Amino acid sequence: MKRQPAITYTLLDEMTASPTEPMPAAKRTHQLNRMWGGLAALETAPQPTADDWRVCSDAVNLMETLVFMGEVQDPDGLINDCAQALAEAGQRHRSQGAALRLTGPGLQSLRGVLEDYATALAQLSARVMVRCHRLTEKRIAAIVRGQKKAHDLVVVAL
C-alpha cells in the first residue's frame, strides 16, 4: 500500500494566514534549517537519509509551484535541473544501493534553489506560502495516484 502524503495546511489555514506578512520567523527558520540540513547531509554525511533527500525535494517542488502560481520566475531552468539531479540520485540509490549523492552541478543547482526558496519565503505573504504548500501537496498526491503530467519526473519512493 502506498503511503499517503502528509497534509501540512488546510484551506482554513490558508484563509486565516496573513495576506500581507510573511510566515512567522520561527516557522521559516524551522523549515529552512531542515532543508539546509538535508543539503549538508547530501553533501557530506556518510549515509544521507531518505528524509535528507525528501526535504530537499520538497524545496524544489515548492519552488516549482511558486513558478506555476506566477509568484517567482525560473528563467534559467534551475528548478528542472535540480529536480533531474535529485531524481537521478534517488534512482541510483534504489537501483544500485548507492549513497544518496548529487553530482557537483546537481549540488550547485540545489543550493541555488534553496537560496531562492529562502528569499521567497521571507518576501511572500504567509497566505501565498500556505497556498503554495497546499497546491504542492495536491500535485504530489495526484502523482502518487498515477496522475502524472508530461513534465513530472518519475517519483522515487525512498
- Where does the pLDDT of residue 19 fall: very low under 50, low under 70, confident under 90, or very high at 90 and above? very high
The DSSP string of the chain is -PPPPP----HHHHHHS-SSSPSPHHHHHHHHHHHHHHHHHHHH-SS--HHHHHHHHHHHHHHHHHHHTTSS--TT-HHHHHHHHHHHHHHHHHHH-------HHHHHHHHHHHHHHHHHHHHS-HHHHHHHHHHHHHHHHHHHTT---TTPPPP---
C-alpha cell read off for 83: 529536480
Q: Answer for the pair 119, 56: CB distance below 8 angstroms, yes or no.
A: no
Mean pLDDT of the chain: 89
pLDDT in tens, 23-74: 999 999 999 999 999 999 999 999 999 999 999 999 999 999 999 999 999 9
**Rounded CA separation 40/4 (Å):** 27
Give me the pLDDT at residue 1, please. 46
Distance, CA of 113 to CA of 105 (rounded, Å): 12
Verdict on whether the full-model pTM lies above 0.95:
no
Q: In angstroms, rounded to a whole number, what is the distance separating the alpha carbons of residues 122 and 23?
A: 7
